[in-house]
């Protein structure tokens, strides 16, 4: 999943607002193959985001998620957000509750 940081995403200091990056982390968590694309309904129960470096307006951020655990009721994922130079902007973890 990608997003281009635009003027509307700026924080007080001029870079990408942390909420944009957190939204990217949360959203990309639903897209590994066994989850949302397959019709499995789920919701976020926990999310942790570690911000490593700022992202500037105009940068393209790419987020990728990977399932680390998939049980009957919970899924745990790791997420990495990188810029176009493959530098890590943020990384985190999410826990999703699988809704039967």
CATH number at residue 59: 3.10.129.10
What are the C-alpha distances in Å from 3 to residues 9, 40, 89, 95?
10, 25, 13, 22
pLDDT given for residue 28 in this prediction:
94
Q: pLDDT digit of tens for each residue in the chain (100 aa)?
A: 999 999 999 989 889 999 999 999 999 998 887 776 677 788 999 999 999 999 999 999 999 999 999 999 999 999 999 999 999 999 999 999 999 7
Q: Which residues contact 52 (CB under 8 A, 6 or more apart)?
A: 88, 89, 90, 91
Going by C-alpha positions, the residue among 71, 20, 77 that lies closest to residue 44 is 77
pLDDT given for residue 37 in this prediction:
64
pLDDT given for residue 1 in this prediction:
93
Q: How many domains, in total, are found in the chain?
A: 1
Give the range of the structural domain holding residue 15, as residue numbers without chain letter.
Answer: 2-98
The token pair at 20 is 């944009």
Going by C-alpha positions, the residue among 99, 96, 98, 90 that lies closest to residue 24 is 90
């Amino acid at each position: 999943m990608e997003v281009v940081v635009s003027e509307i995403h700026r924080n007080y200091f001029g870079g990408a607002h942390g909420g944009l990056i957190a939204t990217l982390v949360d959203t990309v968590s639903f897209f590994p193959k066994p989850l949302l694309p397959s019709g499995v309904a789920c919701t976020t129960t926990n999310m942790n985001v570690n911000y490593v470096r700022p992202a500037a307006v105009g940068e393209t951020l790419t987020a990728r998620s990977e399932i680390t655990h998939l049980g009957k009721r919970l899924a745990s994922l790791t997420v990495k957000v990188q810029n176009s130079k493959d530098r890590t902007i943020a990384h985190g973890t999410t826990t999703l509750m699988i809704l039967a």
